Amino acid sequence: MSKKVTKIGVLTSGGDSPGMNAAIRAVVRTAIYHGIDVFGVSRGYNGMIEDEIEQMNSRSVANIIQRGGTILKTARSKEFFTEEGRKKAYENLRKRGIDGLVVIGGNGSFTGAYKLSQEFGIPCVGLPATIDKDLYGTDFTIGFDTAVNTAVSCIDRIRDTADAHDRLFIVEVMGRHAGYIALHSGIATGAENILIPEDETSLDEVIASLSEKEKRKKLVNLVVVAEGHSSGGANGVAEILKSHLPNLDTRVTILGHIQRGGSPTCLDRLIASRMGYHAVESLIEGRHDVMIGIFQNTINFTPIEVAIREKQRMSDDWMRIVKILAS
């Protein structure tokens, strides 16, 4: 029989993503509903080490569901990856009697939670919050939908100016080593070519495609590139294309961190709220060291160890769709 959870800590860690505040709100209010004290840890694992931990109440999370970023702040902590750092963090949790932890973040954040759980017996639950959508065990990650919609809005505007000037625009989107933002935003904006790490399309194919379109007098072209593509991103692609297609007026736009900001979409608010609620319920039921995901619209519990180790696989259908729709 699992020990009853009486005090829960919640933190956001790693890169920020829209919807983190909605998740915090759900964790805090679900815990309070069940009579459980809840503590917010500021600045991720750094704040845990430096004892930046304060008790929260319902008013602490009022009027935050629509805000981007995270009220708890976030950071990446090198010290937490040392035994001394984790021991210090644990002692700060222990002196408050915190016996459960909800970690809102990505792969690196879950690695830290897993080590804390294994070394000190703190039950942990992870909520997948990353715009990259690269975590195994869930169809959705908190922040992805907002990031994609931001990218789509920007690319739509770029297409307008590309059309006005008969230009080739190469647009770089975020995603680290995953190409989901590029894939989804590229399809949604009618990009002629999409370059992602999971499908290392040869630039020779892109050059051939653009050359054929140039002959057909199709002068407006969009190429969406994931930042993790082996070509070196948009600037690397642009250099190669300019050398082979000097007649094309080629411009580069790097969307950058604009994709992390802004008010979360309805979908991100909903999944963050649903996941936050189930994180607390999971700790109460004695189910821990899991990541809360949503798979085929059903809550899915993936062991954190598996979520860290396994990789999200992209369907081969997607790239076939891209090639056919851009033809």
Q: What DSSP string runs through 182-229?
A: HHHHHHHTT-SEEEBTTB---HHHHHHHHHHHHHTT---EEEEEETTS
Single-letter code of the amino acid located at 311? K
Question: Does the annotation place 227 within a ligand binding site?
Answer: yes
125 is in an annotated binding site: no
**DSSP string for residues in 276-315:** HHHHHHHHHTT--SEEEEEETTEEEEEEHHHHHHS-----
Selection from 182, 185, 166 nearest residue 174 by Cα: 182
Residue 10, strand partner residues = 40, 102
Is-contact 305 288, C-beta < 8 A?
no
User: Annotated binding residue at 265?
Assistant: no
Q: Is 171 annotated as a binding residue?
A: no
The reply to whether 236 sits in an annotated binding site is no
Consult the annotation and say whether 20 binds a ligand.
Answer: no
What is d(CA 326, CA 96) in angstroms, rounded to the nearest whole number?
58
- Of the candidates 214, 274, 112, 319, the one whose C-alpha atom is nearest the C-alpha of residue 101 is 112
Reported as type and span, the H/E element at residue 54 is strand 53-56
Residue 89: which of 51, 40, 118 has the closest Cα? Answer: 51
Q: Which residue's entry shows tokens 């590029």?
A: 182
77 is known to lie in a ligand binding site: yes
259 is in an annotated binding site: yes
Residue 192 known to bind ligand: yes
220 annotated binding-site participant: yes
* Residue 215 marked ligand-binding: no
**Hunting for tokens 């970023």 — which residue is that?**
69
Residue 132 among the catalytic residues: yes
105 assigned to a ligand binding site: no
98 is in an annotated binding site: no
Active-site choice (132, 134, 268, 289)? 132
Is 106 annotated as a binding-site member?
Answer: yes
Find out whether 59 is annotated in a ligand binding site: no
- Share of the chain residues as helix, strand and coil, in percent rounded to the nearest 5: 45, 20, 35
Question: Is residue 83 annotated as involved in ligand binding?
Answer: no
Dihedral sign, Cα of residue 133, residue 135, residue 136, residue 142: negative
Residues in the annotated binding site for ATP: 15, 76-77, 106-109
Active site residues: 132
Residues in the annotated binding site for ADP: 25-29, 159, 190-192, 216, 218-220
Residues in the annotated binding site for substrate: 130-132, 167, 174-176, 227, 251, 257-260
Residues in the annotated binding site for Mg(2+): 107
Residues in the annotated binding site: 15, 25-29, 76-77, 106-109, 130-132, 159, 167, 174-176, 190-192, 216, 218-220, 227, 251, 257-260
